[in-house]
Amino acid sequence: MDATSLSAELIDLHERPRLVPPFNARYPGLTADSGYAAARKLHAHRLALGWQPAGRKIGFTNRTIWPRYGVFEPIWGTVYDRTLIFAENNKATVPLGNLSQPRIEPEICFRMRARPPVTKDPRELLHCIEWIAHSVEIVQCHHPEWKLQLADGTTDNGLHGRLIVGSPTEVRAIANLAEKLPKLKVKLFKQETLVDEGVGSNVLDSPLLALGHFLELLEKQKDALAPGDIISTGTLTDAHPVVAGETWRTAFSGIELPGLEIRFE
């Protein structure tokens, strides 16, 4: 596989967004690992331009959508200061101009208080988390009709476009948080029309367990989280196309988190 050409194409795609045939069809031998290696080249390029990493997004933790996309395991990408948006009063305006085929995903995110151990014990993980918030990720795909394989997703920074984060709540402020997370319910509305619904158990049985799985993956890659990292744990519903001029919103039940209202332009 021509790793140099792949990395150069990836960097160019993010500077001049457009649709191209899947990477896997044009770079024989592309694997999930070599895709991550290409993404690290994009990361280094962005750091050289002054971008600052703000955290990570975990993708494809929702098993209910695996057959639809043909991707059957989680992936991850880096969130940057230039792709992160903190909503004001749980409302945000999000430009879509330089994103390819954007889709909306309601999620749960955490901000790390300390470097977490590699564990799936919810209480150990909560001890290392400063706050929880509702997040909405806008994912993108540079391949026509969202036709991709696992390695295409790892190459393209986990398909990350934007991450919108709502009002944070300290984890200790929500009683029995570990028990509530798998049972939470979210509704996703376009204007006033209900488009989709999801539950916390969709993401590897709980957003906390999705985080635990991610920590195992990072350890295999000789990587780790750091204090201050924001981690979004994957979509609770399917991903739905969005276009400029639309307003979408979310509403939660079963957990003390506010929804978000997002206007796209």
Q: 212 lies in which domain range?
A: 3-264
The residue written with tokens 């977490």 in the block is: 116
What pLDDT is stored for residue 69 in this prediction? 85
Calpha distance 39→59 (Å, rounded): 15
pTM of the model: 0.97
Cα-based distances in Å from 5 to 8, 55, 148, 183: 5, 27, 19, 45
Residue type, 227: P
Number of H helices, E strands in the chain: 8, 14
CATH number at 72 reads 3.90.850.10
CA 229 to chain centre: 13
Calpha distance 159→138 (Å, rounded): 9
Structural domain count, the chain? 1
For residue 59 the two structure tokens come to 């993708």
Nearest to 161 by CA among 74, 230, 89, 95: 95
CA dihedral for 218, 219, 221, 224, sign (positive or negative): positive
Calpha distance 15→18 (Å, rounded): 9
What pLDDT is stored for residue 1 in this prediction? 72
Calpha distance 57→259 (Å, rounded): 19
Q: Read off φ and ψ for residue 236, nearest 5 degrees.
A: -85, -15
Ordered per-residue pLDDT tens for the chain, 265 residues = 789 999 999 999 999 999 999 999 999 999 999 999 999 999 999 999 999 999 999 999 999 999 888 888 999 999 999 999 999 999 999 999 999 999 999 999 999 999 999 999 998 999 999 999 999 999 999 999 999 999 999 999 999 999 999 999 999 999 999 999 999 999 999 999 999 999 999 999 999 999 999 999 999 999 999 999 999 999 999 999 999 999 999 999 999 999 999 999 9
What pLDDT is stored for residue 68 in this prediction? 84
Cα-based distances in Å from 30 to 37, 66, 153: 10, 20, 11
Calpha distance 124→119 (Å, rounded): 7
